[in-house]
Structure 1
Amino acid sequence: MADRVERFAASLPEPSLILDAGCGPGRDLARFRKHGHVVRGVDLNPVFVAMANAHAPTSQCDLREVATRFPAGTFDGIWASASRVHLDRADATDVLGQFAGLLRPGGRMYVCLKATGRTGWLDEPDGRRWYMAWDPDEFASAVAGAGFAVDSVDRGPYVEVWAACIG
């Protein structure tokens, strides 16, 4: 993901305020800071939040409620790398709309979701999780419908959408 972080960081003027939505332990927060940006993180997992706070201010947050955590138009960029894979279509689409509201007009967004495999519950060594696989065209359409101009769609195991906020 380092190449994608570099690409996203370069698409924004320095310093820009970036929200890492679903930041995990903070790897990308640290990378964006090295590129001269100001970052904030949110994640649902309290263990990850504690780890990510070593890199940037991070709070525990369910992405389905992210718009309640920050004022509208706060961010220049939103980085959402594989963080909505556990949301169903309706919730993931709603979160995209919340992202549009959190971005300043012209703000940039990178978002990726699982595009292969099956949708449903998967038992993993550390628990049971819901996974949602998206058709790339359907996901790009959902991004556009949430208020974004889609710049590009990269297809692979994950569909990656690069976009700018219209509003």
Structure 2
Amino acid sequence: MKSRTTSDREPLDPVAESVAVYSDHADDYAAVHAPKMADRVERFADSLPAPSLILDAGCGPGRDLERFRAYGHVVRGVDLNPVFVAMASAHAPTFQCDLREVGTRFPAGTFDGVWASASLVHLDAADAVNVLGQFGGLLRPGGKLYVCLKATGRTGWLDEPDGRRWYTVWDPDEFAAAVAGAGFEVDSVDRGPYVEIWATRSS
């Protein structure tokens, strides 16, 4: 049997390969994205009594960790990229973690809120559904979830100015159904280039 070469071998883990790309331009990424999502953070922060314990799942360089603290909440961050983990640790306790294993990193029912802003975009559909279930396990009954991911384009590898990454694109209704199937009541679906789901952990 002919052995596969580096040039014709598919990446063993598209998630790890996609996340690693951020390391080379971490400071630029942080600067470009710094002003984004402030209104969503405020909306999520206001949906929980302060202080609540929030997990920023896929926190990147820590932008929203700092914001949630400013609203009086207690936050923890997890991210797979070690450069982002180091940056985010300046804002709140942050741990390197593959979201596909996040349910093993904290006791069940630890958090009042899980914030997952564009952090599932590199997962395939089956992994994303699995992670949603893990989020449900980490939340107390009545806890809040925000999650958004790509709803436009096509699933597959995308060559971007700062590197090549894998993205899974979801139909908004199918994603809302996946969130509901993971044990959540879907409170709101905001449609756009990214579908945004606001949900509450079922009792």
| TM-score, L = length of structure 2 | 0.81
Query: Residue in 2 aligned with 1:63?
Result: 99
Amino acid at match of 1:86: H
Q: Quick one: distance in 2 between partners of 1:114 and 1:124?
A: 15
Amino acid at match of 1:134: W
Give 1:123's match in structure 2, choosing from 150, 156, 159. 159
Q: Quick one: distance in 2 between partners of 1:125 and 1:49?
A: 23
Q: Quick one: distance in 2 between partners of 1:149 and 1:123?
A: 36
Return the offset for 1:122: 1.4
Query: Residue in 2 aligned with 1:164?
Result: 200
Give 1:112's match in structure 2, choosing from 122, 130, 148. 148
| Range that drifts further, 73-82 or 119-128 | 119-128
| SS of residue in 1 equivalent to 2:123 | coil
Query: Residue in 2 aligned with 1:54?
Result: 90
Return the offset for 1:125: 4.0
Alignment of 1:80-159 (within 5 A): 80-159=116-195
Match status 1:44 vs 2:71: no
Q: May I ask how many residue pairs the two structures share in their alignment?
A: 167
Q: Quick one: distance in 1 between partners of 2:63 and 2:55?
A: 13
CA deviation string 1:64-111 (max 9, x = no partner): 000010000000000000000000000000000000000000000000
Amino acid at match of 2:65: L
**More helix per residue:** 2
CA deviation string 1:115-148 (max 9, x = no partner): 0011001123443211011000000000000000
Query: Residue in 2 aligned with 1:73?
Result: 109
| Range that drifts further, 52-61 or 124-133 | 124-133
In structure 1, runs of 5+ residues without a counterpart are none
In structure 2, runs of 5+ residues without a counterpart are 1-36
Q: Quick one: distance in 1 between partners of 2:99 and 2:187?
A: 24
Q: Quick one: distance in 2 between partners of 1:124 and 1:112?
A: 20
Q: Quick one: distance in 2 between partners of 1:5 and 1:68?
A: 26
Amino acid at match of 1:50: A
Q: Quick one: distance in 2 between partners of 1:68 and 1:148?
A: 20
Q: CA RMSD in A?
A: 0.8
Q: Quick one: distance in 1 between partners of 2:138 and 2:181?
A: 16
Amino acid at match of 1:108: K
**More strand per residue:** 1
Stretches of 4+ moved more than 4 A in 1? Answer: none
